Amino acid sequence: MTAQILDGKACANQIEKEIIAEVSKISRPPHLVVVIVGDDPASKVYVGNKIKTCKRLGIRSTLIEKKADISESLLVSLIQELNDDDDVDGILIQSPLPNHLDEMMLTDLIDPNKDVDGFHPINLGRLVQGRTDGLIPCTPHGIIRLLNHYQIPLQGKQAVVIGRSRIVGMPMSLLLASQGCNATVTITHSKTEDLAEVVKKADIVIAAVGRAEMIDDTWIKPGCVVVDVGINRVDDASHERGWKLSGDAHPNVSTKASWVSPVPGGVGPMTVMMLMQNTVNAAKKRRQK
């Protein structure tokens, strides 16, 4: 068996066309403000990609760059200003932040109606209630859209989520268990006993642990679906740059799984597109008031 590919680029391209059509019907383009603190190279690449995507979709964007030594009080003031600015529909604080800044506290300060990352306690709380009408965390939402695009059945299936972060693992579990999906969900983490045996029972594996190629073909049962959220930099002398990007799943899972999302080109494009969708949704909801 050779796994079929869950092509995030192809799915994101289709959603992009839908969003462009949606934006064209709005009198004023949605406005996303992205705040980046410091000079982290990876963060600058991610932010640049988001800004380019906004431009392509007709979404207005503003990039605010702050030095790494900015005080927490100044960043708090900036968030409050953006909350109060009626011209701003979405606010994104690019992570990671420097160690002296309390990322969770700052996230909690963002107006939940402008929280396009979907990490505010009110937006996460809606998921706990089984509601999907709020701003949903982008990566989990993108994964559900990707699975639906390829008509992967979820109802009644055994889904194992590896990782319990508030960014991916926990909201992913809530979405899979919601009435729209109706999967039976097991959340696993670093303290799970016999993790490989737990994963082996899964019809769907969501790998979001941040350990390169940890899940191999001995961990999965034939025909399962593997969604790889991991983005790990691995030394590789065969590449000109000396490294390659690797997921949490080993390439050999493709010999046993029915579907696999590639790294890169799987979950990543979907995450960015769901950020765009959240920005549009936030703009439309705010303007209805």
Active site residues: 50, 94, 117
**pLDDT at residue 1 tops 90:** no
Q: Are residues 96 and 201 in the same domain?
A: no
Mean pLDDT value of segment 264-281:
98
Q: Are residues 84 and 169 in the same domain?
A: no
41-45, 87-91, 198-202, 235-239: which has the minimum mean pLDDT?
235-239
CATH of the domain at 51: 3.40.50.10860
Q: Are residues 161 and 53 in the same domain?
A: no
Asked if residue 120 belongs to a domain, the reply is no
Q: Are residues 150 and 198 in the same domain?
A: yes
Q: Are residues 254 and 180 in the same domain?
A: yes
Q: What is the 3-state secondary structure of the chain?
A: CCCEECCHHHHHHHHHHHHHHHHHCCCCCCEEEEEEECCCHHHHHHHHHHHHHHHHHCCEEEEEEECCCCCHHHHHHHHHHHHHCCCCCEEEECCCCCCCCCHHHHHHHCCCCCECCCCCHHHHHHHHCCCCCCCCCHHHHHHHHHHHHCCCCCCCCEEEEECCCCCCHHHHHHHHHCCCCCCEEEEECCCCCCHHHHHCCCCEEEECCCCCCCECCCCCCCCCEEEECCCEEEECCCCCCCEEEECCECHHHHHCCCEECCCCCCHHHHHHHHHHHHHHHHHHHHHHC
pLDDT the model gives residue 208: 96
Asked if residue 10 belongs to a domain, the reply is no
> Average pLDDT, whole number, for the chain?
95
Mean pLDDT value of segment 249-264:
97
Asked if residue 126 belongs to a domain, the reply is no
Domain that holds residue 46: 28-111
Domain end position, chosen among 77, 93, 111: 111
Q: Which is higher by pLDDT, 228 or 287?
A: 228
pLDDT the model gives residue 116: 98
CATH of the domain at 185: 3.40.50.720
Task: Look up the pTM and report it.
Answer: 0.95
Q: Are residues 92 and 168 in the same domain?
A: no
pLDDT the model gives residue 238: 75
Asked if residue 118 belongs to a domain, the reply is no
Asked if residue 229 belongs to a domain, the reply is yes
Q: Are residues 260 and 146 in the same domain?
A: yes
Q: Which is higher by pLDDT, 25 or 240?
A: 25
Asked if residue 192 belongs to a domain, the reply is yes
Total domains in the chain come to 2
Asked if residue 124 belongs to a domain, the reply is no
Q: Are residues 106 and 143 in the same domain?
A: no
Q: Are residues 246 and 164 in the same domain?
A: yes
pLDDT tens digits, residue range 80-100? 999 999 999 999 999 999 999
Q: What percent of the chain has pLDDT over 70?
A: 100
pLDDT tens digits, residue range 96-143? 999 999 999 999 999 999 999 999 999 999 999 988 888 999 999 999
Asked if residue 119 belongs to a domain, the reply is no
Q: Are residues 250 and 141 in the same domain?
A: yes
Q: Are residues 147 and 78 in the same domain?
A: no
Q: Are residues 148 and 262 in the same domain?
A: yes
**pLDDT at residue 213 tops 90:** yes
